[in-house]
Amino acid sequence: MFDTKIAIVLRDDLEVWQKLNVTAFLTTGLVAQAPGIIGEPYVDAAGNAYNPMAVQPMMVLAADGPTLAKVQRRALDRGVRCSAYIEEMFATGHDAANRAVFAEYGPDDARLVGLALRADRKVVDKITKGARMHP
């Protein structure tokens, strides 16, 4: 149905509130990179308008820390741009602080908690190998 695939990979040891928070933040990064993934506004039977949403499904996957690091490395090696969230961002309170703490780490030392990517279906499958459907 779609040539591309959207995958969000979360570290499997996060608290529920953290999983939801990270998923929301990572999704905004995908939309910023590819605004065309957003469809038309929704309108209910009474004529009330609601915000548009993504036109394709998003797969939410889970992985342990080492597997998530492999997913990140594969994406970087293939030049697939991702949204990324690191553990230290939970302690910040705004965007500038998030970007500042994010800039302190590289792929080899970041305590990654989530990634989101959109690319060709087969490429996403290769990148996310080892991650599993989120329970």
Mean pLDDT per 10-residue segment, the chain (135 residues): 94 97 96 93 98 95 97 98 97 95 95 97 97 91
H/E element holding 7? strand 4-11
Q: According to the model, what pLDDT value does residue 16 have?
A: 96
Which residues constitute the domain of residue 77? 4-133
Query: Which CATH number do you get for residue 34?
Result: 3.40.1490.10
Q: How many domains does the chain have?
A: 1
β strands within the chain, DSSP E:
4-11, 42-43, 49-50, 58-63, 82-86, 112-120, 132-133
Q: According to the model, what pLDDT value does residue 128 have?
A: 98
Q: According to the model, what pLDDT value does residue 67 have?
A: 97
- Residues with Cβ within 8 Å of 99's Cβ and at least 6 positions away in sequence, in order, are none
Q: According to the model, what pLDDT value does residue 135 have?
A: 80
Say what the pTM is: 0.93
